[in-house]
Amino acid sequence: MKDTGENAVAKWLVIAGRQISQYLGQQLAGLGLTASQYYYILKIHDNPGLTQKELIEAEFINPSNVTRAIKQLVTLGFVVRQQSPTDKRAFQLNLTAEGEALYPKLNAILQKEEAEVRQAAKNVIPDFDADQFVAVLHLISHLHGDTDKQ
């Protein structure tokens, strides 16, 4: 079979994303988290009291995925949902003590993976600039807008 896209950027972004997600899933399992849940712990830690709506809008996340992940994290005892004092329709999200205790362990796993990714890039491109690369990835991630709404 002929491979017509061996050097296609989009192909390798998808493959790299899948591989990193699977690896992180394996690492996070020991903390009781999945690769699709850890992001919420980070966002809630960094933005205590944010609402599910704000979380959905922050990074083009599908609302049903957010709802499902938050329910799971509440059940696991890592997150608590509290009705907003200013908007009775909104629920603010905060980490529980267990969620706060989880954060440094989660961060250590992510920092290790970040270091490995950066080193792999530097092995191929000695003057690799991670900040520029992240800027390009950010631009690519917004290239088509919020595809969940299209």
Give the CATH number for residue 33. 1.10.10.10
Domain count, the chain: 1
Strand partners, 82: 92
CA torsion 130→144→14→78, rounded to 10°? 80
pTM of the predicted structure, to 2 decimals: 0.84
Considering only CA atoms, which of 89, 106, 86 is closest in space to residue 98? 106
Structural domain includes residue 149: no
What the block records as the tokens of 148 is 């969940």
pLDDT tens digits, the chain, 150 residues: what are they? 566 678 889 999 999 999 999 999 999 999 999 998 999 999 999 999 999 888 888 777 888 989 999 999 999 999 999 998 888 888 999 999 999 999 999 999 999 999 999 999 999 999 999 999 999 998 988 888 766 665
User: Containing domain of residue 41, as a range?
Assistant: 9-143
Structural domain includes residue 97: yes
Report phi then psi at 47, rounded to 5.
-135, 65
